Amino acid sequence: MITHVGSINVDYIVHNKRLPMPGETVFGDSLSMAIGGKGAIQIGAVARLGVPTCFISMMGELDPNLPLLKSDLAWAGVNCERIGMAKDMLCGSAFVMVEESGANAISIVHAADRAVTPEYVEQNRDVIRDAKVVMTEFMPPMETCEYAMKMAKEYGAVTIVNPAPVKEIPDGFYQYIDIITPNESEAAGYCGFAVDDEKSAAEACAFFHGKGVKNVVITLGGRGAFVSDGQRTEMVEAYKVKAVDTTGAGDSFNAGLAVAIWKDKDLFTAAKFANAVSSVSVQRKGSFRSIPTYEEVAQVFAL
């Protein structure tokens, strides 16, 4: 089983010919709503790839979009038994603008995501104990993420941390991270220098290794991912496809990585599979319903 401690959002998605500049108003071509949140997309993708899941998260009881969220999670096959209901709150929300090139801009309101507390993780200790891989991202409170990863290491699980959005990571947290997966801008936010090529990606990996992280995977958009296990580094090239919508591409990548690790593949093979998952997802609109099945991904790269 793969357990995720993370967020659920309602995504409000506007498709534009291009993104507006600061202070500029542009007309959108279409508006849609869908399930979002890095946690929901990642665990949804894990489930679509055929691995048993459990999701520790929170919805807001006041949100009128609960049927939409529950329907999408059911479509993906996510085990939702450990999703709680936060009193007097709305669900987390994301406001997403996507331009024709596939580039996007996102603004997030946390709301019920903040109710994913260490106490709530403790109440669900059994599904961390029983997991082979435990994942998190930084939309829940930082203390929750650290508490969950520490607990996962106590039970011998592999921990995967997607450090997004960028927040200050306590030095003590790093020791509980087996694999960290920032993109280039997030890596720059933590390291303090631009990460835009293989040389700077290697330097960023060295930064995280120096903090105590065993394995580092830095996603570099359409170029692929730079991977380091502390002994070996490799630039894992992306698959060349025509992107329709890159929203959620990193989350699909993280799911693919987790599934390959769950299947006992090495880090470099896992990154190749993760690239394949992402390459299929970006050829479709949306961040959740674009998630592929294992059979679809296997036509590109099979484990």
Backbone phi and psi for residue 129, each to the nearest 5 degrees, phi listed first: -55, -40
pLDDT in the model for residue 257: 98
Q: What is the CATH number of domain 2-298?
A: 3.40.1190.20
Question: Tokens standing for 185?
Answer: 């801008």
Active site residue 29: no
93-139 pLDDT, tens digit each: 988 898 988 788 888 899 999 999 999 999 999 999 999 999 999 99
CA distances from residue 163 to 34, 59, 239, 298 in whole angstroms, order as listed: 23, 22, 24, 28
Give just the sign of the alpha carbon dihedral 10, 143, 55, 181: positive
pLDDT of residue 77: 97
pLDDT at res. 242:
85
* Cβ pair 212, 174 in contact under 8 A: yes
Domain boundaries, the chain: 2-298
Alpha helical stretches, state H, 178-266: 184-191, 198-211, 249-262
Type of residue found at 9? N
Residues of the chain predicted below pLDDT 50:
none
For residue 245, what pLDDT is reported?
Answer: 78
Total residues found in the chain within this entry: 303
- Other Cβ atoms less than 10 A from the Cβ of 214: the count is 18
- Cβ(217)–Cβ(179) under 8 Å? yes
Q: What does the pLDDT read at residue 147? A: 98
User: Of these residues, 11, 251, 264, 266, which one is catalytic?
Assistant: 251
157: left (phi over 0), alpha (psi -120 to 50) or beta: beta
CA–CA gap between residue 195 and residue 183 (Å, rounded):
9
